[in-house]
Amino acid sequence: MAKLSVKELEALTLENLGRRLFDGDGLYGRVMKQKTGLVVVFEYRFKLFGVQRSSSCGKWPAQSLKEIRKLRNAKQELVNTGQDPIELNKAARLETKLKQANAIEEQKAELARLATEAATKRTFNEAISQWEKRELSKRKDKGEESMRAITKDIIPTLGDIALVDITRALLMNRLDEVVERGAGVMANHLFGDLKQFFNYAIAREWVETHPLAGITKEKVGGRQNERDRYLSEAEIKELKQKLTDAKLLKTTELSIWIMLSTCCRVGELSQARWEHINLKSAEWTIPAGNSKNAKEHTVFLSDFALEQFEALLPYSGQSEWCYPSRDGSTHINLKSIAKQIKDRTRTTPLKGRSKDCATLLLSGGAWTPHDLRRTGATLMGELGVMGEVIERCLNHVEQNKLKRIYQRHELKAEQKEAWRILGQRLNLLYHYQEDENIVLLNSTKTQA
């Protein structure tokens, strides 16, 4: 049988599709069309142990005719010695796969070793820093309050220890020390943040177990009672009289009456901009970014509340902020108002702080800016405002999911009326004279 030539292969056309070409000694090819053009797929046909078999020998022109014949010759030698090139090829492929699998396992083992080594080297401080960037930064305050506490009470002692070596005992010792200095609430806040951090660490396999699993706040700083302090009407009158000697900044004094008459949070007022206050329409729009529940809230200002903002205008009207910082670049510190009030309700002065202690300590005890919000809401209720309307005035989210979904009525008119009658009552108490006869709504009150 005549051997195939390269010229014969090069002369093939589409008319030769499917044609078989024989080269002798069991080697033959089939003309096919592929993406690269016309090709000839070669196979070596042989008989071994009475069985006819066929083994691939390459593809022209990807391989030259010389290379294809060389491969056929190698397979023919195997057959001549009683070996099956097909089975040998399968074995070779299996061996290759086995080598690849072994290589993958070795890579996994090496990665595990490196991960273990990295975990051993990763300090608690480094892990906390990454958590801060990835998770805490998403919080409204960018995680500043949590990091301040962690940096103060945890990092100095545990910061340089490998994260994998942090134990429950080490963490509880630190939390116990915070409790022992009289800061049980702070210890509970720290505990909550540390639990979240270790959940984050476990999700990334930095640690295998949660060192604080099974621990509750009751076992750390103790159960936190819900605060129920509010000011009675008698105390509101008392507050008006005491403000004269408290030596508060006039802007802070005005903030007290604004919080009372709007039921706003101290942080919402501290971050307020004048562009949010419409003195003509008597409306204050609290942006979603400033509210606790991230929902925009409109406060309909009563005449009394409007007077307070108008009184505030000469002090900060040149700034974009209602309560600007000293350099005017931003708003005041969110704790500024609370600290000024706290200094004047405590009985012993702190070093470097106001000496005007107890000047704002009322007959019902110490109070905070948030108690003013509770006081305003309580007064609304005593003046006959429906609870649902009060909740809307407080910008609380409806807890009942079905109501939240289907009851979209915002009760704007009812809210406006609620703030009006609250402002009216506060105005009466604010301008109260000793010789006047005012019937107080709440003659008894709950202590903190």
Q: CB-side exposure of 328: number of CA atoms within 13 Å?
A: 6
Q: Is 197 a member of any domain?
A: yes
Residue 406 has pLDDT above 50, yes or no: no
Residue 308 has pLDDT above 90, yes or no: yes
Q: Do 79 and 178 fall within a single domain?
A: no
The 10s digit of each residue's pLDDT in 108-151 is 766 665 555 555 678 899 999 999 999 888 887 788 889 999 99
Burial class (CB in 10 A: 0-12, 13-18, 19+), 180: exposed
Residue 78 has pLDDT above 90, yes or no: no
Cβ-proximal residues to 310 (8 Å cutoff; 6+ apart), any chain: 279
Residue 234, pLDDT score = 92
Band of residue 448 on the pLDDT scale cut at 50, 70, 90: very low
Q: Do 323 and 417 fall within a single domain?
A: yes
Are the C-beta atoms of 414 and 198 separated by less than 8 Å? no
d(CA 369, CA 248) in angstroms, rounded, equals 14
Q: Which of 164, 194, 219 is the last residue of a domain?
A: 219
Mean pLDDT of 170-187: 90
Residue written as tokens 């202590």?
447
Of 190, 184, 152, the C-alpha closest to 171 is 190
Give the 3-state secondary structure of residue 375: helix
Cβ-proximal residues to 5 (8 Å cutoff; 6+ apart), any chain: none
Mean pLDDT of 63-68: 90
Q: Which is higher by pLDDT, 50 or 403?
A: 50
Q: Do 297 and 334 fall within a single domain?
A: yes
- Give, rounded to a whole angstrom, the gap between the first and last alpha carbons of the chain: 111
Q: Do 184 and 283 fall within a single domain?
A: no
Q: Do 402 and 418 fall within a single domain?
A: yes
Residue 414, pLDDT score = 93
Q: Is 435 a member of any domain?
A: no
For the whole prediction, is pTM greater than 0.75?
no
Band of residue 405 on the pLDDT scale cut at 50, 70, 90: very low
How many CB atoms sit inside 10 A of residue 326's CB? 7
Q: Which is higher by pLDDT, 251 or 409?
A: 251
Q: Is 224 a member of any domain?
A: no
Q: Is 441 a member of any domain?
A: no
Q: Do 59 and 149 fall within a single domain?
A: no
d(CA 229, CA 360) in angstroms, rounded, equals 15
Q: Do 215 and 347 fall within a single domain?
A: no
Q: Do 106 and 239 fall within a single domain?
A: no
Q: Do 399 and 275 fall within a single domain?
A: yes
Cβ-proximal residues to 431 (8 Å cutoff; 6+ apart), any chain: none
DSSP string, 228-293: -----HHHHHHHHHHTTTS---HHHHHHHHHHHHH---HHHHHT-BGGGEETTTTEEEE-TTTSTT
How many degrees, rounded to 5, is the angle at CA 353 between CA 350 and CA 358?
70
Percentage of residues in the chain having pLDDT higher than 90: 50
Residue 14 has pLDDT above 80, yes or no: yes
227-231, 232-236, 327-331: least confidently modelled range: 227-231
Residue 447, pLDDT score = 37
Mean pLDDT of 11-16: 89
Across 179-312, where does the E strand assignment appear? Answer: 277-278, 283-286, 297-300
For the chain, the average pLDDT equals: 86
Residue 239 has pLDDT above 60, yes or no: yes
Q: Is 443 a member of any domain?
A: no
d(CA 394, CA 117) in angstroms, rounded, equals 52
CATH number at residue 308: 1.10.443.10
Band of residue 420 on the pLDDT scale cut at 50, 70, 90: very high
CATH number at residue 132: 1.10.150.130
The tally of domains found in the chain comes to: 4
Q: Do 162 and 136 fall within a single domain?
A: yes
Mean pLDDT of 338-358: 88
Mean pLDDT of 336-340: 94
Residue 417, pLDDT score = 96
Of 303, 325, 321, 322, the C-alpha closest to 312 is 322
Q: What is the span of the domain harbouring residue 270?
A: 233-430
Q: Is 439 a member of any domain?
A: no
Band of residue 445 on the pLDDT scale cut at 50, 70, 90: very low
Q: Is 446 a member of any domain?
A: no
Q: Do 186 and 326 fall within a single domain?
A: no
Residue 148, pLDDT score = 92
Cross-strand pairs, 300: 283
CATH number at residue 49: 3.30.160.390
Q: Do 238 and 339 fall within a single domain?
A: yes
Q: Is 117 a member of any domain?
A: no
Residue 443, pLDDT score = 46
Mean pLDDT of 363-372: 92
